[in-house]
Copies of this chain bind each other. A is one copy, B any other.
């Protein structure tokens, strides 16, 4: 049950079997049904989550629209981390696109891990560094790349993901209308 999880966290750094057992002992398993919300904008995000199975979308509710910022398939970590760190209201809603299984770590569990010493501190540091680099990249990418390029990069980064997502979700992620995305797809296939 925890094989891909173990592999995932050992990709950040090497944990002893002891530390790994401790880590796993802190997890709570949370199943989500398709379209179920894990976090609502306005609530405080109390956990970080490892996506063991399934797929989530991460979106900003703006007026009567949803602006999708990111997708989280299996074997990724997800959280509204600023809300988690400072117990402030979440800006985003996080919702299951498919039936999903999360492994949750509460804020208390995370602090307990840090108290165990340097290896967990280092893990937390590497996670925060990764999130930071992604946030900055997102900034630059949205400012500097064409919609077509961003679509191709999404498809390349997560093979198969585009087939698991409704067209309207991908369009929202790209900031365009579904009709425009259909045209882009046709153009790319026609090449």
Contacts and interface: CB of A to CB of B under 8 A. Distances in A.
Given A129-B128, A132-B132, A139 B137 contact: no
Q: Is the interface of A mostly helix, strand, loop or mixed?
A: helix
Contact of A132 (B81, B91, B118, B122): B81
Given A132-B128, A133-B82, A139 B138 contact: yes
Contact of A135 (B86, B117, B122, B135): B135
Interface string A131-175: 111011111100000000000000000000000000000000000
| Contact-residue bracket for chain A | 20 to 34
6 contacts: A82-B133, A82-B136, A121-B124, A125-B128, A128-B129, A135-B136
